[in-house]
Structure 1
Amino acid sequence: MASQSHTGRGWTGASRRSREQALATVGRAGFMARGVIYVLVGYLALRIAFGDGGDQADRQGALQQIASRPFGTALLWLLAAGLAGMAVWRGVQAAVPGAESRKAGSRLMNAGRAVFYAFVCWGTAAYAAGSGGSGNSDSSSKDWTANVLKLPAGRWLTGVAGCALIVVGAVIAVRAAQRRFLRKMETGRMGPKVRTAVAASGVAGGVARGAVYSAAGVFVLLAAIRYDPGSAKGMDDTLRSFDRTAAGPWLLVVVAAGLVLYGCFSFASARWRRL
């Protein structure tokens, strides 16, 4: 009986390890998919900065870039599968308390991320299936803002959403500058040069990503103040707005390069993040 009990515990332990390995695998696939999207969006933004602004610098533009390549449809389905993996991994993080998600706030954020990546996965799969996806980020942002402004207290709700985006962007940038992401990385497995490169890409990429979020929030807030949904901007228009500042295209170059680096950091996370 003791031998059978020991064997049962062994099977239970092996089953648990198998589940953890499977979950880690889908999570790493998700980080790879996220990296592909950010590298392509950053690349498209760089093209805008250097005068070739024909393509959208957003997720839809990234999908168009992939679709135009050989075996593009197959690559899109692989990307959708990776995004599904990220949604599943974030969902489990929200549902099952772990080292990174013991607090209610962390679990709530992971639940929101799971919903977001599920939506992105659906849009990518729809595009791969030939339906064209959900449209570009700019029209979607304007449509969403217009619908909210029609609601009772819609102006206040839109203003709150804009302020929330500004705060989220600031938090992302500050945490990146503090290099808090290194706490989640297996830095002991990295050589000194690799660790420096990962830290630099995480800082630059996180600050650029935070800047885009905050800038988009400013435009949503302006839409509330002006009661004009046309003032809201998606990622493409937000990035183009950096090109129209006093700094000229160079500010957009810096932000776009940061987004490419964030994609590279996502690839590093796929390899060295604790999952």
Structure 2
Amino acid sequence: MNATVAARSGRVRARRAAGPMTKGAARAGLAARGVIYLLVGTLALQVAFGDHGKQADRSGALEELSRRPFGSVLLWALGVGVCGMALWRLSEVAFGSAGEDGRKARKRLLAAVRCVFYCSVAFSVLSFAAGSGGGNRSSDAQSRDMTARALALPGGQWLVGLAGAGIVVAGVWVGARAVRRYYHDKLRLGEMTRRQRRAVDVTGVGGGAARGLVFATAGCFAVRAAVDYSPDRAKGLDDTLRTFAELPMGPWLLACVAAGLVLFGLFSFALARWRRV
């Protein structure tokens, strides 16, 4: 009994000691995510209005950022910010996240998946900042290569199909939670004015719905790649966004989705300011 109490007390002390660093890492990470989505959304808007030479994904965003004044400094800052995101998710694995059910196994597992994802994003950003931009391949090429490797495995079609279906479900889940404003549970609403809440709801609902739609669409292409046993059917972010332009009223539809991604970038900045960590 004493050992259990001591272990619990030790975890509480560790969580408190890591608190300030975790909060700083979370806010830096959310701001970095906001920058990436703002850039991707802006590039997608340019594609929608005729500039088809742009690459509307993370690779294109990094390339665009590198061309700005002090681009190298901005890239390093962005990479450090994404590292903060990974560190924050790692702390949620170790100590649990904010909220009543933050210490449940399901929440910790989700935090672990997010940690791995942001570690890979941080690696790509820092590699680009260090001058290894050639390794920063487009999302489309990465998606096709990953799909080809997965299809070559025993039961690969089922593996890719299930992964694609999971992405579709995740996209619907992300969009539905945004529309239903579940993010309110994670915000310090008492510190916000009515105008600020209204602005956050515009960016949260519009941005979350657009993000969920893009995820779900990319998942559908993965499922199609599994059914056809064709890795070329899989699409990364850039090709997924361009698909909207091929539909009726396509350029305007792509513009709406792109504007939604810009809104999600702004929403990430709001989370960096008001999210409970």
Query: Residues 166-187 of structure 1: CA distance to partner in whole angstroms, max 9, x if unpaired?
Result: 0000000000011000110011
Query: Residues 22-44 of structure 1: CA distance to partner in whole angstroms, max 9, x if unpaired?
Result: 21011100000000000000000
Letter in 1 for 2:183: F
After TM superposition, the structure 1 = structure 2 runs for residues 57-68 of structure 1, keeping only pairs within 5 Å, are 57-68=56-67
- Paired position in structure 2 for 1:76: 75
- Paired position in structure 1 for 2:31: 32
Out of 163, 168, 171, which is 1:166 matched to? 168
Letter in 2 for 1:35: G
Distance 2:38 2:96 in 1: 31
- Tell me the SS of whatever aligns to 1:52: coil
Query: Residues 196-240 of structure 1: CA distance to partner in whole angstroms, max 9, x if unpaired?
Result: 000110011000000000000010111011111000000000000
Task: Name the % identity.
Answer: 51
Q: Which runs of 5+ in 1 are unaligned?
A: 1-11
Distance 1:95 1:250 in 2: 44
Out of 254, 257, 260, which is 1:258 matched to? 260
Distance 1:248 1:29 in 2: 35
Q: How far off is 1:158 after superposition?
A: 0.7
TM-score under structure 1 length normalisation:
0.93
- Tell me the SS of whatever aligns to 1:155: helix
Q: How far off is 1:134 after superposition?
A: 3.2
Instruction: Assess, with a 3 A threshold, how the Cα gap between structure 1 residues 98 and 124 changes in structure 2: closer, same or farther.
Output: closer
Distance 1:152 1:98 in 2: 37
Q: How far off is 1:17 after superposition?
A: 5.0
Q: Structure 1 residue 136 and structure 2 residue 138: aligned?
A: yes
TM-score under structure 2 length normalisation:
0.92
Instruction: Assess, with a 3 A threshold, how the Cα gap between structure 1 residues 60 and 272 changes in structure 2: closer, same or farther.
Output: same
- Paired position in structure 1 for 2:103: 102
Distance 2:224 2:131 in 1: 35
Distance 2:246 2:163 in 1: 24
Distance 1:249 1:110 in 2: 36
Q: Which 4+ runs in 1 deviate beyond 6 A?
A: none
- Tell me the SS of whatever aligns to 1:57: coil
Distance 1:170 1:40 in 2: 24
Q: Which moved more, 1:97-106 or 1:194-203?
A: 97-106
- Paired position in structure 1 for 2:9: none
After TM superposition, the structure 1 = structure 2 runs for residues 66-215 of structure 1, keeping only pairs within 5 Å, are 66-100=65-99, 101-132=102-133, 133-215=135-217
Q: Which moved more, 1:243-252 or 1:202-211?
A: 243-252
Q: Judge conservation of contact 2:15–2:95 (CA < 8 Å) in 1.
A: no
Distance 1:54 1:71 in 2: 24
Distance 2:58 2:250 in 1: 24
Q: How far off is 1:19 after superposition?
A: 2.8
Q: How far off is 1:94 after superposition?
A: 1.4
Q: Which runs of 5+ in 2 are unaligned?
A: 1-11
Q: Which moved more, 1:64-73 or 1:89-98?
A: 89-98
- Paired position in structure 2 for 1:242: 244
What count of residue pairs does the alignment treat as equivalent? 264
Q: Which moved more, 1:15-24 or 1:140-149?
A: 15-24
Task: Tell me how large the CA RMSD over aligned residues is.
Answer: 1.5
Instruction: Assess, with a 3 A threshold, how the Cα gap between structure 1 residues 18 and 107 changes in structure 2: closer, same or farther.
Output: closer
Q: Judge conservation of contact 2:28–2:85 (CA < 8 Å) in 1.
A: yes
- Paired position in structure 1 for 2:221: 219
